[in-house]
Structures are given as structure tokens and as C-alpha cells.
Amino acid sequence: GLIEGAHLGAGLGHQFLRHIERTRLIVHVIDMAGSEGRDPYEDYVQINKELGQYRQDLLDRPQIIAANKMDLPEAEENMKAFKEKVSDVPMYPISAATGQGIKELLYAIFDTLEQIPVRPEIPQTIDGDERVVYKAERPGEEFKVRRDNELFIVEGEKLEKLIIMTNLNSQDSIQRFARMMRKMGVDDALRKKGAKNGDIVKIGDFEFEFVD
């Protein structure tokens, strides 16, 4: 994480802040229990101060607060006091130790990113030298479709991760997932395997009817 003076290069400093420059959404993981005498609100203010001193426009990017350590007794009161001071940033109570609230946080991150335009790549420099960023090529086959009698099973790591991150109680989230499947070519692949309206499709533990 960031420490005081990061904008001047303290700690990981510029290296960490350069990474943040490429993000579309900033998620603050705040120790809401106030461990070791920390003040959750002051931590939040200090982090934003470092961001703004490095690049003012970083503060214009959407933010989410993950209120961590909510399994500890002090956290509830601290979060109430925090909300009184910071009411305009979405906040999700979580516990990394118990897993409480993690899925809801992931849903919120996923839904928020869906609404934020992808930022163009910004060339990075270190001491005047251009930083070269190497990216892995996208694999040619992201999923497989197989038929088991009347059931169509779609297998693929990316799809299975997406379904886990999709809020199946939200119609908007389900529709976004359906659009992603179409873009990836899942619908076309199902048709080639013979899928028709009403046939059952399974991805991970999720089953749904195919709509042509």
C-alpha cells in the first residue's frame, strides 16, 4: 500500500503510483478495526492526499471503499463514524479473514467497471527511458462446448470466473453476462453444436435456457 511521502518516492512510491495511473477504478481497502491505533478515516484521507499530490486527476476516478476486518468488535462503530465523514463513496463491509462480504464487493467492482470506459494505454517512462510493457497474447480458444445428451456444457476458465463474479439475483448483471458470451462467440458455438431455443446450457454450476 501507499505510505506518507509516496508521491516523493518513499517506499514503493512512484512504482506503485505508476501502476495506479493505469487503473480505471480505485478500491481502498481500509482497516476499519483501527488495528495498532490506526484511524480508518485518517488512513483514507492520507491515501487520497498522496494520490492527489502525485496526480490530481487520480482523485477524479471512481472509488470504492472495502471496509476490512469487520469480524473484529471495534469495526462496526468505526464504520459508523467513517460513514458520517465519507458519505459519497460506495462502501462495502468485508472480512478477508472470514470471507464476509467478498462476493458482494466483487459484484460491485464488476458492475462499476462495466460502466467505465477503457482507458488508452499511456506510455510510461522511468528517468527518461521508455518502459516497454509486454503482454501475453490472448489464447486462440477461450472455451469449449460439448454436448451431453440434451445438456450443452460450456467450459472455459474466463467464463467460469465471470459467472462467479456475476450477481445472479440482478437482471442487469445477468444481461451483461449474456452480452459478454455473445461477444466471445459462445452463442455461435452453441448453435454449431445444435443448441435450440429452450435447451439447457451449463457453465460451472450455473444452468440456464438457451435463447436464440
* Tens digit of each residue's pLDDT (9 = 90 or more) over 126-135: 444 455 554 5
- Model confidence pTM above 0.85: no
Burial label for 124, CB within 10 Å (0-12, 13-18, 19+), is middle
Give the three cell numbers for residue 184.
466471445
Q: How many helices (H) and strands (E) does the chain have?
A: 7, 9
The candidate with the shortest Cα–Cα distance to 133, out of 19, 47, 31, 11, is 19
Mean pLDDT, the chain, integer: 83
Length of the chain: 212
Given this chain, do its domains 6-130 and 144-209 carry the same CATH topology? no
Q: Kindly give the interhelix angle for 171-184 and 102-114, rounded to the nearest 10 degrees.
A: 60
Q: Is the pLDDT of residue 191 over 60?
A: yes
Q: Is the pLDDT of residue 31 over 50?
A: yes
Q: Which fold has domain 144-209?
A: GMP Synthetase; Chain A, domain 3 (3.30.300)
CA–CA separation, 80 and 63 (whole Å):
19
The class level of CATH for 6-130 reads alpha beta
pLDDT band for position 198 (50/70/90)? Answer: very high
pLDDT tens-digit profile of 43-61?
999 999 988 888 888 999 9
pLDDT the model gives residue 136 = 45
Domain ranges of the chain: 6-130, 144-209
